[in-house]
Amino acid sequence: MTQQTNNHTGKLIVFSAPSGSGKTTIVRHLLGLDALNLEFSISATSREKRGDEIDAKDYYFLSAQAFKNKIKADEFLEWEEVYRDNFYGTLKTEVERIWAQGKHVIFDIDVSGGLRIKRKFPKETLAVFVKPPSIDELKIRLKKRKTETDDKINMRIAKASAELATAPLFDVIIENDNLEKALVEAESLVSNFLKP
């Protein structure tokens, strides 16, 4: 796999953080800025589709067996088993699809996936860690978001300390206390990184 496709030097922009930190909000904002020329990396997963999620838009939904077959065939850039038979990963073809359009890839993935992409493509990747003001604030944000049950919120919070400890391994940390400031900082970091 090479980043040189049709004379386009594709880059990879990773946003990782504990759940509730604000990475999706920041990534959505950046995707709305046409000048950055970004396209969202759609992950594959074997988890069940939720509510109004759409295949090939939110995720590529695969059976656990189909996912395992793709692992065997070395089709993933990175993948992870979160719970038993609950797989998530980035397909190599997804990155190739985006680079072939002359665009840069932006990822909204967990910290271990983000760091694996950085390790595979050290020069081409900007790995950003989004840091919440505190774990208490994460809990408040997840409750307000109302997308998870209390059990799921507690599971996400339980993982947050270990995830926060990985922040120094990223290229840069954005503090997301004031959202407006975080958006401006993210915009400037990404646009500087993408400058030829």
Could you tell me the smallest distance in angstroms from the CB atom of residue 35 to ligand 5GP? 26
Annotated binding site for ATP: 17-24
- Asked whether the beta carbons of 92 and 77 are under 8 A apart, the reply is yes
| Min separation Cβ 130 and ligand 5GP, Å | 11
- Maximum distance among all Cα pairs of the chain, rounded to whole angstroms: 49
CB hemisphere CA count around 64 (13 angstroms): 8
Rg, C-alpha atoms of the chain: 16
Count, residues in the chain: 196
- Cα–Cα distances (Å) from 115 to 12, 13, 73, 81, 99, in that order, read 12, 11, 22, 16, 20
Residue among 156, 87, 109, 154 nearest 12 (CA)? 109
Look at residue 155 and give the partner it binds from ligand 5GP, ligand ADP, none, a contact being a CB closer than 5 to 8 Å depending on partner kind. none
Q: Among residues 10, 22, 89, 132, which is the contact residue for ligand 5GP, using CB under 6 A?
A: 89
Residue from 23, 104, 118, 131 binding ligand ADP (CB under 6 A): 23
Residues in contact with ligand 5GP, shown as a per-residue x/- string from 39 to 78 under the rule CB under 6 A: ----x---x------------------------------x
Pick from 3, 19, 21, 176 the residue near ligand 5GP by CB under 6 A.
19
Contact 172, 130 (CB under 8 A): no
Q: Which residues bind ligand ADP (CB under 6 A)?
A: 17, 19-25, 141, 144-145, 176-177, 179
Q: Which residues bind ligand 5GP (CB under 6 A)?
A: 19, 43, 47, 78, 80, 82, 88-90, 109-110, 112-113
